């Protein structure tokens, strides 16, 4: 077994449902595994500690800043490599590495505490610019998306990706603002167009929907779900943790379709939630839902 890897505490992120992930993901301690949403390496640290020296763990993430922190934190493990790549195109990496199949794939689709606590627009509880990009080197920012979109386009984003009932009223308010560059600007637009009751939930839905749109999150997830089964070795496992109903529904439907084709055995009849103890210790884990399957 590998020696314990000490975590740098200068940036903290508490990985969700670690015990469940390890139990469901790892079937061969000498195998090859892929963490498609590496972040600061929270799950990766525990996975590496559960694998032998001859195993491999490939970590992918779109956030270069998080990758740099993770690379430094886990640099002591020869079994680990990290790559600036979106998880939905992981087959490109496997091809480059000469790998045809892996023993397990993990996706944690939530934001890390590091991202939420940054000032890049991910959380309405902070100040900062309306960026919201995971990869700050490419793509348009949330502010640019808002400026280029019509009120109808924005309303569709708020409704489709945030399931927000007041989407059209909020979209009009957003477009009526003289400035829309900062978190405070967007919060003010929501304040002007919604009743005070449950406004926190409304803000969460609006920020979530813009983040999903900026990063193409659902398209990337669908692309991954359409292809991952081809790269799992027989007996290999897939573990996906989602945090809102749109993602969980997509994972559920994909697993169900693969089961019908006799390609995947679903290991979780219902999504697993965090334990009450974990939810108490880590409030950000409360909405997590874990689904897992095994390649037939």
Task: Work out the pLDDT band at 232, boundaries 50, 70, 90.
Answer: very high
Sequence spans of domains, the chain: 18-114+218-295, 120-216
Task: Work out the pLDDT band at 5, boundaries 50, 70, 90.
Answer: very low
Cα gap 192→177, rounded to integer Å: 10
Sheet containing 56-61: order of strands: 80-84, 56-61, 32-35, 102-108, 232-242, 289-295, 264-266
Q: What is the pLDDT of residues 158-217, one digit of tens each?
A: 999 999 999 999 999 999 999 999 999 999 999 999 999 999 999 999 999 999 999 999
Question: Tokens at residue 154, please?
Answer: 């924005």
pLDDT value, residue 3? 39
pLDDT value, residue 13? 67
Question: Tokens at residue 208, please?
Answer: 């979530």
Cα gap 54→235, rounded to integer Å: 19
Whose tokens are 């439907």? That residue is: 253
| Class for the domain spanning 18-114+218-295 | alpha beta
| Class for the domain spanning 120-216 | mainly alpha
Measured over all CA atoms, what is the biggest interatomic distance in the chain, rounded to whole angstroms?
A: 59
Sequence-ordered alpha helix ranges (H) in the chain = 18-25, 42-50, 64-73, 90-97, 113-116, 142-148, 151-162, 167-176, 183-193, 199-215, 217-227, 245-260, 276-281
Q: What is the pLDDT of residues 63-108, one digit of tens each?
A: 998 899 999 888 777 789 999 999 999 999 999 999 999 999 999 9
pLDDT value, residue 4? 43
Mean local confidence (pLDDT), 227-237:
98
pLDDT value, residue 189? 98
* 125 has pLDDT over 50: yes
pLDDT value, residue 83? 96
């Amino acid at each position: 077994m590998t020696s314990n890897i000490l975590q740098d505490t200068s940036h903290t992120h508490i990985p969700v449902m670690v015990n469940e992930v390890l139990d469901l993901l790892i079937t061969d301690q000498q195998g090859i595994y892929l963490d498609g949403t590496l972040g600061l390496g929270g799950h990766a640290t525990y996975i590496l500690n559960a694998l032998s020296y001859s195993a491999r763990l490939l970590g992918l993430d779109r956030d270069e800043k998080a990758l740099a922190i993770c690379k430094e934190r886990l640099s002591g493990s020869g079994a680990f490599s990290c790559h600036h790549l979106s998880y939905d195109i992981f087959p490109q990496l496997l091809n480059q590495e000469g790998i045809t199949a892996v023993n397990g794939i993990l996706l944690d689709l939530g934001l890390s505490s590091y991202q939420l606590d940054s000032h890049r627009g991910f959380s309405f509880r902070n100040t900062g610019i309306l960026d919201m990009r995971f990869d700050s080197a490419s793509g348009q920012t949330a502010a640019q998306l808002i400026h280029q979109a019509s009120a109808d386009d924005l309303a569709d984003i708020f409704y489709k990706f945030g399931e927000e009932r007041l989407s059209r009223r909020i979209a009009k308010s957003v477009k009526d603002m003289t400035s829309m560059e900062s978190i405070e600007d967007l919060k003010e637009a929501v304040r002007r167009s919604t009743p005070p009751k449950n406004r926190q939930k409304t803000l969460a839905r609006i920020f979530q929907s813009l983040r999903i749109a900026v990063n193409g999150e659902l398209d990337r997830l669908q692309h991954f779900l359409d292809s991952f089964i081809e790269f799992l070795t027989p007996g290999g496992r897939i573990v996906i943790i989602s945090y809102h109903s749109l993602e969980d529904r997509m994972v559920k439907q994909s697993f169900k379709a693969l089961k019908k084709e006799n390609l995947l055995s679903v290991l979780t009849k219902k999504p697993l939630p965090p334990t009450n103890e974990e939810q108490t210790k880590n409030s950000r884990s409360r909405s997590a839902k874990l689904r897992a399957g095994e390649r037939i």
